[in-house]
Structure 1
Amino acid sequence: MSVLQLLWMLVKLVPMPAVVLWKLLTTLRAPYNKNRNFKRIICDCAFRYVASALTVPEIRAYAGTTLGVYTTWAKKAKIPPIVDEIGGGARLLWVGPKRLGDVILFLHGGGFAMPPHEPHLLFLHHVRTEMERKRVTPGIAMLNYSLWPESTFPTPLTQLCLAVEFLLVAGVDPQRLQLVGDSAGGNIIVQLLSHMLHPHPSVPVLNIPGTLRSAHLISPWVDLRCCSSSWSANSGIDYVSKEGLGWVGARVASSARSETDRIFIHPILASRMWFSGLPTLVSTIRITAGEKELMVDDILALADILREHHGNVEVVVQEGGFHEDMFLDFLVGERTRGGLMEGIVASLVSGCAT
């Protein structure tokens, strides 16, 4: 990024204090904020401004890399970084000890274009410590997949297949493997399910000797067209930007070369029979969404499609919640607000054998 581009970014941030103050004053008593404290509401206002004022490339320029975010956090948390190179430009980044009994494989969000941010790792660390407190000791690994624009569909899907295969070869039982993904990460998990039912010709076939234990989709981004009613109804309420996600979504989706590609990228477009056979792939599916997030209509529509073929799909909508709401709780230190976090931990605990 040039000096002029940096200066222009700073100019765009100049109005931020005034805008945040105005938004704070006008939304402090809004019904959707009734369970948020003052610090969290300020954080939401600041994120909302940055997401609307800066472009995706501008934010990406200062977001770093997935490996860099991970190693910086590990140093701060005084946890030894453990990295597995799994081929295809991908890595597994272990959050805590590398354990191959029960394993949680996490795919971070970020619109396919951003690395994880620190709250992702705080979330995973919290999950691990809470599960250990309940005497359950999983290994937790985050997939370091390639980001847009350096890579396009189906590269992240291929890398997820490599990650699952790496874990299976290492001895992990499919019934002890749980997949967790937020936003774009949730989309990639659904891509994996599509690939297992309808193998994509550009992606290696993934043969799993059994059924995966669970898939947890946290505010999954399942329609990159950004056109359902909630994208308008919750614009300006949710902290993420309709314009920013629409911009990057259109570019990520432009890599589709066929109608099948479009279904993989936008699973909301799948026919009613597309997910037939889903129970043979994964034992349970848990989907969470925020009542006030942009994507909520799309998330609930996908849940309805999955429920037609799978009898164990749980859907939790957080009252007044935003997109992947709990991650901002971690950012401001409110780690246990509401029941969404506790529900995720309880569900992951129930999916473990140890």
Structure 2
Amino acid sequence: MSLSKVSKVTLTLQEKLDFFPALASILLAGFYALLTGLWRTERQAKTLFLHLGYAVFRKATARLTPSQLQYVSPPSHKIYEIYTKKTGASPQSVELGNGALGHWIGDRNADNVLVWYHGGGFGLPASMGHFKFYAQLIADLKARGKSVAVFSLTYTLSPIATYPTQLRQAVECLRHVLAQPNRSPSTVFMGGDSAGGNLVGGVLSHLAHPHPEIKPVELSSNLGGAVLVAPWTLLDTEFPDQEIYHGGDLITQAVAHPWSSAYLGKATRDYYTDLSTAPVDWYSTFPVESVLITGGGNEIMLPIIQDFAAKFKEGFGKVEFFIGHRECHVAPVYNLELGSKEKTEQGKKVEAFFTELMV
């Protein structure tokens, strides 16, 4: 599949006309956040700027369908092209088969490679914040004496394609990196945010327990490590413990049903889609040296993430869990998308984790 033939979503006339009242409601939500944001609590964003950005995203994702959001968002590979043009880097995109594309950020011959799966409920493309995050991570690790490149996956968004398409594409992305000449699995790392964290868990599950519809991956040794930032590993249509949410997160419960339904389609949920539901011994044979799971102190999914991290640690052992104080869902990425210059606590932890494990 060529870059110009990546599948795109189509909308009905009614869905297109709906953008006008939706835009009005989003602007109103932003204006309200601006007025009320001067009196923020610990459960809300650290700055008025972030508070406003979170409110707008929250309203947009609650008001618009996954297809509508996708329709107005440039696809991931276009964002990558914009990023390389802005930074003066040469774009290096690879067709991975099965409709997937991979994009190199940094020197593909670096000592270490980080395969990253972006979030967005499986229905939103990678943002410019993702590519800023990759570049920041590469630069910061270089300052610590670590040579690393990022290989970012463009997978087919839902509802254009449904599970297990995205998991198959994520597996092929990792397989491509592992097939590089002289590339040891110990120098290959995986990372993902939100739905991308789901894919990290799904790929680790496939490596240990091959999915019946996906070709197995043979490893000569364990992967170097894996990071799951605010992983979405339980596709329930409701989030528990709603009292944790006081306007300090990016998302609301309104996204749970449409996003999970669009991803699953007619498929039945299993341990690959919902790693939180797997038995403890499912994790025990994951072929990776160490795992970091992070979450934001103000995010609506924190109770789910905490339960998942505890279960993962019980079954696997080498798992560290970290909570970023007063941070929202996928703050290391979305704060950069908004233009924030301040590093998040979760972002610093991810950097420290990779510094310790990379050669």
SS at 2:42 equivalent: helix
SS class of match (1:103) = strand
Equivalent position of 1:204 in the other structure: 215
Shift of residue 94, structure 1, vs aligned partner: 0.7
Please tell me the residue identity of whatever aligns with 1:224: L
Match in the other structure for 2:289:
283
1:213 alignment counterpart? 224
Deviation at 1:256, TM superposition (A): 2.5
**Unmatched runs of 5 consecutive residues or more in structure 2:** 1-10
Larger displacement relative to structure 2 (36-45 or 115-124): 36-45
| Aligned positions of 1:1-354 closer than 5 A | 1=11, 5-32=15-42, 36-170=46-180, 171-230=182-241, 233-234=244-245, 236-257=247-268, 261-278=269-286, 281-353=287-359
Q: In the alignment, residue 193 of structure 2 is paired with which amino acid? A: D
8 A contact 1:32–1:321 mirrored in 2: no
TM-score (normalizing by structure 2): 0.90
Instruction: Provide the TM-score with structure 1 as the length reference.
Output: 0.91
Deviates more, 1:226-235 or 1:261-270: 226-235
Q: 1:84-141 CA distances to partner (integer Å, 9 max, x unpaired)?
A: 2222222220112222521111100011111101101111111111112223221111
Give deviations 1:274-297, integer Å, cap 9, x for gaps: 22223xx11110000012212111
Contact 1:197 1:277 in 2 (8 A): yes
Structure 1 residues 176-185 or 9-18, which shifts more? Answer: 9-18
Q: Secondary structure at the match of 1:143?
A: strand
One-letter amino acid matched to 1:263: Y
Percentage of matched positions with identical amino acids:
23
1:178, 1:351 within 8 Å by CA — same for their partners in 2? no
State the one-letter code of the partner of 1:239. L
Describe the shift of the 1:66–1:309 C-alpha distance in structure 2 as closer, same or farther (beyond 3 A): same
Which sits farther off after the overlay, 340-349 or 1-10?
1-10
1:326: how far off? 2.3
Deviation (angstroms), 1:236:
4.5
Tell which deviates more after alignment, 220-229 or 209-218: 220-229
- Which letter does structure 2 place at the counterpart of 1:349? T
Match of 2:4 in 1: none
SS for the counterpart of 1:350 is helix
Q: Is the 8 A contact 1:93 1:141 kept in 2?
A: yes
1: distance between equivalents of 2:54 and 2:146? 33
Number of residue-to-residue matches in the alignment: 348
Q: Judging changes above 3 Å, is the alpha-carbon distance between structure 1 residues 35 and 158 closer, same or farther for their aligned structure 2 residues? A: closer
Note if contact 2:161-2:263 (Cα within 8 Å) is conserved in structure 1: no
| C-alpha distance in structure 1 between counterparts of 2:266 and 2:14, whole Å | 31
Q: How far apart, CA to CA, are the structure 2 residues paired with 1:87 and 1:246?
A: 30
Aligned partners of 1:102 and 1:352 also within 8 Å: yes
> CA, structure 1 residues 46+251, in 2 after alignment: closer, same or farther (shift >3 Å)?
closer
Deviation at 1:34, TM superposition (A): 6.9
Gaps of 5+ in 1: none
- Matched-pair contact (CA < 8 Å) for 1:111–1:249: yes
Question: 1:337 offset after TM fit, Å?
Answer: 3.7
